[in-house]
């Protein structure tokens, strides 16, 4: 657990011992925008050797995530009335809340990758988070632990086998999930409205009021 002491948040006392991570990915800002970890919407994700593994870029109302070869494998569209949409690999575009849906409670989320489900959860009410494969055995260790380091940069530690095609597919999905969670005023703190929550909350309110108006009009017409 010594590696976790590099995180700004104290290591939770009840966390079971973990082996050293096989991969460490740090989100580095590619420009000067963003507060806290909101910079991840424009960032380069590098490994311990400083090699770029992912590039996250946001222009207008779309965020793209590309792999180390520059191939875009995920697009997040924020310009929807209520919930942003995601186009992940060859799948059809869907609401992000469906791609990264709630778990048994709103304190957990589930993402599918390489045929398995991975549960995201906050650790002991601290700003340290885990992704753990869903198994009947609840003692299964997490495949990823994420948190902020002393410089306020988001760091993701990956455990177990990390080089196979399946492991890379899991890493890809979890990186996208972290972008959704830590993106500017994203899901982590203020709901699911993307980079400009005020705009989308107003749109959502407008849609709700419009529906209420339609309902009242129908009542007036139908005896």
Structure-model confidence comparison of residues 93 and 17, the more confident one: 93
31-72 pLDDT per residue, tens: 766 666 778 999 999 999 999 999 999 988 899 999 999 999
Helix/strand/coil for 186: coil
129-184 pLDDT per residue, tens: 889 998 877 778 889 999 888 888 899 999 988 889 999 999 999 999 999 888 75
DSSP class of 91: S
What pLDDT shows up at residue 201? 44
User: Where is 204: in which H helix or E strand?
Assistant: helix 197-221
Instruction: Judge if pTM exceeds 0.85.
Output: no
The strand pairing partners of 105, in sequence order, are none
What pLDDT shows up at residue 39? 87
Structure-model confidence comparison of residues 195 and 135, the more confident one: 135
- Under 8 Å between Cβ of 42 and 57: yes
User: For the chain, what is the largest distance between any 2 Cα atoms, rounded to a whole number of angstroms?
Assistant: 72
Q: What percent of the chain has pLDDT over 90?
A: 40
- 35 vs 38, 140, 183, CA distance in Å? 5, 34, 10
69-76: list long-range contacts, CB under 8 Å, 24+ apart: 73/172, 74/172, 74/176, 76/179, 76/180, 76/194
């Amino acid at each position: 657990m010594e590696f976790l002491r590099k995180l700004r948040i104290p290591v939770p006392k009840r966390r079971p011992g973990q082996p050293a991570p096989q991969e460490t990915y740090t989100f580095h800002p590619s420009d000067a925008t963003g507060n806290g970890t909101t910079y991840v919407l424009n960032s380069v994700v590098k490994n311990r050797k400083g090699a770029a593994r992912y590039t996250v870029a946001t222009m207008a109302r779309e965020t793209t995530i590309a792999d180390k070869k520059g191939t875009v494998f995920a697009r997040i569209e924020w310009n929807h009335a209520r919930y942003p949409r995601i186009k992940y690999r060859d799948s059809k575009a869907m609401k992000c809340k469906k791609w990264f849906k709630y778990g048994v409670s709103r304190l957990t989320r589930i993402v599918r990758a390489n045929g398995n489900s991975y549960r995201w959860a906050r650790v002991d009410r601290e700003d340290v988070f885990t992704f753990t494969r869903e198994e009947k055995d609840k003692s299964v260790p997490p495949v990823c632990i994420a948190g902020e380091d002393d410089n306020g940069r988001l760091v993701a530690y990956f455990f177990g086998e990390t080089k196979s095609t399946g492991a890379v597919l899991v890493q890809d999905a979890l990186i996208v999930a972290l972008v959704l969670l830590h993106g500017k005023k994203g899901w982590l703190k203020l709901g699911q409205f993307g980079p400009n929550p005020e705009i989308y909350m107003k749109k959502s309110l407008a849609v709700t009021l419009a529906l209420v108006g339609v309902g009242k009009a129908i009542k007036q017409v139908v005896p």
